[in-house]
Amino acid sequence: MHSDLLRRPVSLRLMTEHDIPLLHGWLNEPHVVQWWGGERPSLDEVRAKYLPRVLAQERVIPYIGMLGDTPFAYAQSYVALGAGGGWWEEETDPGVRGIDQSIGLPELLGQGLGTALVRALVDLLFADPAVTRIQTDPSPDNPRAIRCYEKAGFRKAGIVVTPDGPAVYMSRGRLR
Protein backbone atom coordinates (compact mmCIF):
# COMPACT_ATOMS: atom_id res chain seq x y z
CA MET A 1 0.00 0.00 0.00
CA HIS A 2 2.60 2.56 1.03
CA SER A 3 4.97 2.11 -1.91
CA ASP A 4 2.18 3.30 -4.23
CA LEU A 5 1.31 6.09 -1.79
CA LEU A 6 4.92 7.31 -1.67
CA ARG A 7 4.92 7.98 -5.41
CA ARG A 8 2.11 10.52 -5.11
CA PRO A 9 2.80 14.26 -5.08
CA VAL A 10 2.94 16.16 -1.78
CA SER A 11 0.71 19.21 -1.53
CA LEU A 12 -1.04 21.30 1.11
CA ARG A 13 -4.63 22.32 1.61
CA LEU A 14 -6.15 24.53 4.25
CA MET A 15 -7.33 22.62 7.30
CA THR A 16 -11.06 22.61 8.02
CA GLU A 17 -13.10 21.86 11.09
CA HIS A 18 -13.75 18.38 9.64
CA ASP A 19 -10.02 17.58 10.00
CA ILE A 20 -10.07 17.90 13.80
CA PRO A 21 -10.62 14.15 14.50
CA LEU A 22 -7.80 13.26 12.09
CA LEU A 23 -5.47 15.80 13.73
CA HIS A 24 -6.47 14.45 17.15
CA GLY A 25 -5.31 10.99 16.11
CA TRP A 26 -2.01 12.29 14.81
CA LEU A 27 -1.36 14.41 17.92
CA ASN A 28 -1.72 11.22 19.98
CA GLU A 29 0.87 9.25 18.01
CA PRO A 30 4.00 8.68 20.18
CA HIS A 31 6.37 10.15 17.56
CA VAL A 32 4.31 13.37 17.52
CA VAL A 33 3.72 13.57 21.29
CA GLN A 34 7.50 13.43 21.79
CA TRP A 35 8.08 16.72 19.94
CA TRP A 36 4.67 18.43 19.90
CA GLY A 37 3.58 19.31 23.41
CA GLY A 38 4.67 16.19 25.27
CA GLU A 39 1.12 15.14 26.21
CA ARG A 40 -1.72 13.26 24.53
CA PRO A 41 -4.52 15.80 24.01
CA SER A 42 -8.20 14.92 24.19
CA LEU A 43 -10.45 15.53 21.21
CA ASP A 44 -11.99 18.51 23.03
CA GLU A 45 -8.52 19.97 23.69
CA VAL A 46 -7.58 19.60 20.02
CA ARG A 47 -10.85 21.20 18.96
CA ALA A 48 -10.35 24.12 21.38
CA LYS A 49 -6.78 24.76 20.21
CA TYR A 50 -6.77 23.89 16.51
CA LEU A 51 -10.10 24.97 15.06
CA PRO A 52 -9.17 27.15 12.07
CA ARG A 53 -11.15 30.08 13.44
CA VAL A 54 -9.34 29.76 16.80
CA LEU A 55 -5.96 29.67 15.07
CA ALA A 56 -6.95 32.67 12.92
CA GLN A 57 -7.28 34.73 16.10
CA GLU A 58 -3.61 33.91 16.76
CA ARG A 59 -2.67 34.60 13.11
CA VAL A 60 -1.80 30.93 12.55
CA ILE A 61 -2.75 29.28 9.26
CA PRO A 62 -3.31 25.51 9.57
CA TYR A 63 -2.78 23.11 6.68
CA ILE A 64 -3.19 19.42 6.01
CA GLY A 65 -0.35 17.82 4.09
CA MET A 66 -1.64 15.61 1.31
CA LEU A 67 0.04 12.69 -0.40
CA GLY A 68 -2.02 12.59 -3.56
CA ASP A 69 -5.52 12.61 -2.10
CA THR A 70 -4.47 11.04 1.24
CA PRO A 71 -3.99 13.28 4.31
CA PHE A 72 -0.68 12.47 6.01
CA ALA A 73 0.58 15.53 7.91
CA TYR A 74 -0.25 18.72 9.75
CA ALA A 75 1.55 21.99 9.04
CA GLN A 76 1.10 25.58 10.15
CA SER A 77 2.52 28.97 9.37
CA TYR A 78 2.33 32.21 11.31
CA VAL A 79 3.57 35.79 11.22
CA ALA A 80 6.58 35.89 13.56
CA LEU A 81 6.29 39.62 14.31
CA GLY A 82 3.95 40.09 17.24
CA ALA A 83 3.43 36.35 17.75
CA GLY A 84 3.09 37.01 21.48
CA GLY A 85 3.53 34.68 24.41
CA GLY A 86 7.28 35.32 24.54
CA TRP A 87 7.82 34.15 20.94
CA TRP A 88 10.17 36.06 18.63
CA GLU A 89 10.07 39.30 20.62
CA GLU A 90 13.15 40.66 18.83
CA GLU A 91 11.64 40.19 15.36
CA THR A 92 11.03 43.49 13.52
CA ASP A 93 10.39 42.27 9.95
CA PRO A 94 6.66 41.84 9.19
CA GLY A 95 7.56 39.53 6.28
CA VAL A 96 9.00 36.72 8.44
CA ARG A 97 6.87 33.58 8.72
CA GLY A 98 7.37 30.77 11.18
CA ILE A 99 6.49 27.18 10.35
CA ASP A 100 5.84 23.93 12.20
CA GLN A 101 4.77 20.56 10.88
CA SER A 102 4.57 16.91 11.72
CA ILE A 103 3.93 13.74 9.76
CA GLY A 104 0.93 12.07 11.34
CA LEU A 105 1.47 8.48 10.27
CA PRO A 106 4.49 6.76 11.86
CA GLU A 107 4.91 4.34 8.95
CA LEU A 108 5.61 7.31 6.66
CA LEU A 109 8.60 8.55 8.69
CA GLY A 110 12.04 8.28 7.10
CA GLN A 111 10.68 8.34 3.54
CA GLY A 112 11.65 11.93 2.61
CA LEU A 113 8.10 13.16 3.00
CA GLY A 114 8.97 15.67 5.72
CA THR A 115 11.39 17.39 3.37
CA ALA A 116 8.82 17.34 0.57
CA LEU A 117 6.21 18.78 2.96
CA VAL A 118 8.55 21.57 4.11
CA ARG A 119 9.45 22.41 0.51
CA ALA A 120 5.76 22.58 -0.44
CA LEU A 121 5.07 24.88 2.53
CA VAL A 122 8.05 27.10 1.67
CA ASP A 123 6.90 27.36 -1.96
CA LEU A 124 3.38 28.22 -0.83
CA LEU A 125 4.58 30.92 1.56
CA PHE A 126 7.10 32.46 -0.87
CA ALA A 127 4.32 32.73 -3.47
CA ASP A 128 3.33 35.77 -1.39
CA PRO A 129 5.78 38.58 -2.31
CA ALA A 130 5.37 40.06 1.19
CA VAL A 131 7.11 37.03 2.74
CA THR A 132 10.82 37.77 3.19
CA ARG A 133 12.11 34.87 5.28
CA ILE A 134 10.84 31.63 6.79
CA GLN A 135 12.02 30.40 10.17
CA THR A 136 11.61 27.34 12.32
CA ASP A 137 12.82 26.16 15.70
CA PRO A 138 13.27 22.40 16.15
CA SER A 139 14.50 20.94 19.41
CA PRO A 140 18.28 20.47 19.55
CA ASP A 141 17.45 16.84 20.46
CA ASN A 142 15.52 16.25 17.22
CA PRO A 143 18.18 15.51 14.57
CA ARG A 144 15.55 14.12 12.15
CA ALA A 145 13.76 17.50 12.03
CA ILE A 146 16.99 19.47 11.79
CA ARG A 147 18.19 17.35 8.85
CA CYS A 148 14.78 17.65 7.17
CA TYR A 149 14.98 21.45 7.32
CA GLU A 150 18.57 21.44 6.07
CA LYS A 151 17.54 19.34 3.06
CA ALA A 152 14.80 21.91 2.40
CA GLY A 153 17.36 24.75 2.30
CA PHE A 154 17.24 26.03 5.90
CA ARG A 155 20.44 27.04 7.67
CA LYS A 156 21.20 26.87 11.37
CA ALA A 157 21.78 30.24 13.00
CA GLY A 158 22.31 29.07 16.57
CA ILE A 159 20.47 28.05 19.71
CA VAL A 160 17.67 30.27 20.96
CA VAL A 161 15.58 30.09 24.12
CA THR A 162 11.85 29.87 23.40
CA PRO A 163 8.85 29.52 25.72
CA ASP A 164 9.13 25.77 24.98
CA GLY A 165 12.84 25.66 25.90
CA PRO A 166 16.05 25.66 23.86
CA ALA A 167 15.65 25.38 20.10
CA VAL A 168 17.82 25.43 17.00
CA TYR A 169 16.91 28.60 15.14
CA MET A 170 16.87 27.88 11.41
CA SER A 171 15.84 30.13 8.57
CA ARG A 172 15.63 30.33 4.84
CA GLY A 173 15.39 33.32 2.54
CA ARG A 174 14.15 33.43 -1.01
CA LEU A 175 16.32 31.70 -3.58
CA ARG A 176 17.70 34.14 -6.10
Please report, to the nearest 10 degrees, the dihedral formed by the alpha carbons of residues 102, 110, 159, 135 taken in order: -50
Any idea what the CATH number is for the domain that residue 64 is in? 3.40.630.30
Supply the range of the domain harboring residue 21.
2-136
- Inside any domain, residue 34: yes
* Total structural domains within the chain: 1
Q: At what angle do helices 143-151 and 113-126 cross, to 10 degrees?
A: 50
- Inside any domain, residue 156: no
8 A C-beta contact, residue 140 and residue 103: no
State the pLDDT at residue 6. Answer: 59
Which helix (H) or strand (E) is 33 found in, with range? helix 30-33
Q: Which residues contact 165 (CB under 8 A, 6 or more apart)?
A: 139
- Inside any domain, residue 142: no
- Inside any domain, residue 158: no
- Inside any domain, residue 17: yes
- Inside any domain, residue 176: no
- Inside any domain, residue 123: yes
pTM score of the predicted model: 0.88
- What string of pLDDT tens digits covers the 176 residues of the chain? 455 555 778 999 999 999 999 999 999 988 887 777 678 888 898 888 888 777 777 788 999 999 989 999 999 999 998 787 778 888 889 999 999 999 998 888 888 899 999 999 999 999 999 999 999 999 998 898 999 999 999 999 999 988 888 999 999 998 76
- Inside any domain, residue 171: no
State the pLDDT at residue 59. Answer: 85
